Amino acid sequence: MSPTLFSIFINDLSKEIDANLGNLNAVNIGETQIPCLIYADDILLMSNDINSLMNQIQIVNEYCKRNSLDMNFDKTKLIFQNIRYENDHIELNLNNELKRIDIVREYKYLGFWIGNNTKKHLSSLTKNGNKSAYLTAKKLKEIGCANGTIVKNTFEMLTLSKMQYGGEFCFYNKLSELNRIQFQFYKRFYHLITTTANYCLIGEFGLFPLEYHFEKAAINLWIKIIFNESSTIMKRCYNHVSNNLDNSNYSYTWCWRIKHLLKQINLSHLWLDQNSLEINKRKCKIIVKTRLMEHFRAIWINDTKKSRTGIDYLELSQFDCSMKSYLTLNLKLNIMAPLLKLRCRNHDLAVKTGCYRNRLSYDERLCSLCDDRTVETVYHFICKCALYNDIRLHFTPFFVDISKQDFYVMLETLEIGKIVTLTKYINSANSIRADKLRQRPMTS
């Protein structure tokens, strides 16, 4: 039966349960009693004691009998919160018919795993994310698209949305598995080595960690509640919990975490003024999104700054973590990839290899192919090294005699024609470099 039709059909069931509320020890939050949640054909009955719950099942069962419906006892499960129950099932006598109901520790309700912790839900998001990332990459490969904006939008629409399902309700400390899926997707799709630093991907594609998406969704739900766009029951529960946050029973609840999240991003005034907010919902959402982005950008800069090569990357990316323009040009992957690889340290210039091959300090990782006695960085490789003077003049004269700062700025504004010639330069320079190194006697 279609969900809408079912909702119309079953509408009077909740009225029947409400009529019996006096006899049911229903779960209550403040003044609000919540005996059941009915969404389409999913019915969730809640009670403070088992006998009262059994009475509710009786009511539902009798209602079903009268309306020619059948309760599916194989799918009906019982879950206890905060109490231990020794048996793995209970038996219920319904009109002289014995029905068995299994007791479970976790149950999936509307796609969300309910249980004593949220681990199960997290692992189900990981599983769905992995599967979806694979299919998304396959689809994009089929249409031969490498445009960063399209790839990112498609990933966010098809995969990220699955990975953050229900995220507005839960706060996780660590989403490392989900983040790994996101970063791996971009690494695989653009043929980057698996050891590529995630900070490069954040900077190149403007990626945000899953924590950002979860927190944004949670605050957006909060905005919906305070602007009275949620269900009345949600609003009533919210009002009760948010007004009683000083009571230790309500520490670490969803409302408590929202309050602290707003404080973290310097928006405590939104929490304090929530009943008299003068800005509209749209404006509120924009402010939250901007602050959250600033917050995660600051974390990105802070983490990246910890290594000297990280500092190099920050300079290269102009301290900006948004999609770089060369990725949004409609270029084939083989044209775009050489520049992307160079920028993401997928190269064997001395600035990188000197570190792990010879354990040299940063200033000792010199270019051995010219007389400059300078660190072999991406800038040196493209703009300075005398070994490639001829091809530089031929392919990329716009990079001759250019300062490091101008080089970084120019990388952001290159048009298609220049990217194509830069790719040719990088490919030729790489093979000249490889030849030169091969000819030389091996040094330890």
Interface ranges with Zn ion (CB under 5 A): 367, 369-370, 385
Q: Strand 77-79 vs strand 42-45: parallel, antiparallel, or unpaired?
A: unpaired
CB nearer Zn ion, residue 226 or residue 382:
382
> Quick one: which H or E segment has residue 299?
helix 281-304
CB nearer Zn ion, residue 239 or residue 377:
377
Phi/psi for 192 (5° steps) reads -90, 155
At residue 335, the 3 state secondary structure works out as helix
Least spacing, CB of residue 366 vs Zn ion, in Å: 8
CB nearer Zn ion, residue 200 or residue 349:
349
Least spacing, CB of residue 368 vs Zn ion, in Å: 8
Least spacing, CB of residue 175 vs Zn ion, in Å: 42
CB nearer Zn ion, residue 283 or residue 436:
436
- Three-class DSSP labels, 114-176: ECCCCHHHHHHHHHHHHHHHHHHHHHHHHHCCCCHHHHHHHHHHHHHHHHCCCHHHCCCCCCH
DSSP 93-112: EETTEEEEEEEES-EEETTE
Could you give the dihedral angle defined by the CA atoms of residues 151, 318, 358 and 183, in that order, rounded to the nearest 10 degrees? -20
At residue 83, the 3 state secondary structure works out as coil
Least spacing, CB of residue 386 vs Zn ion, in Å: 6
Task: Say which residue the tokens 């009262």 belong to.
Answer: 52
DSSP letter at 250 equals G
266: β partners: none
CB nearer Zn ion, residue 18 or residue 372:
372
CB nearer Zn ion, residue 10 or residue 369:
369
CB nearer Zn ion, residue 386 or residue 409:
386
Segments in 20-100 forming alpha helices (H): 50-66
CB nearer Zn ion, residue 124 or residue 377:
377
Q: Strand 27-29 vs strand 32-34: parallel, antiparallel, or unpaired?
A: antiparallel
- 3-class SS shares of the chain: helix, strand, coil, % to 5: 60, 10, 30
**Taking Cα atoms as reference points, which of 207, 188, 178 lies closest to residue 141?**
188
Residues 6+ apart with CB under 8 A from 79: 103, 104, 105, 106, 107, 114, 115
CB nearer Zn ion, residue 259 or residue 392:
392
Least spacing, CB of residue 357 vs Zn ion, in Å: 17
Least spacing, CB of residue 388 vs Zn ion, in Å: 8
**Taking Cα atoms as reference points, which of 75, 150, 83 lies closest to residue 107?**
75
CB nearer Zn ion, residue 21 or residue 437:
437
Task: Say which residue the tokens 């944004």 belong to.
Answer: 216
**Taking Cα atoms as reference points, which of 420, 394, 280 lies closest to residue 339?**
420
How far is the first Cα of the chain from the last one, in angstroms, to the nearest whole number?
74
CB nearer Zn ion, residue 269 or residue 436:
436
Least spacing, CB of residue 427 vs Zn ion, in Å: 18
Least spacing, CB of residue 436 vs Zn ion, in Å: 10
Least spacing, CB of residue 428 vs Zn ion, in Å: 15
CB nearer Zn ion, residue 43 or residue 351:
351
Least spacing, CB of residue 334 vs Zn ion, in Å: 26
Least spacing, CB of residue 433 vs Zn ion, in Å: 9
Least spacing, CB of residue 302 vs Zn ion, in Å: 32
Phi/psi for 85 (5° steps) reads -135, 125
**Helices (runs of H) and strands (runs of E) counted in the chain:** 20, 9
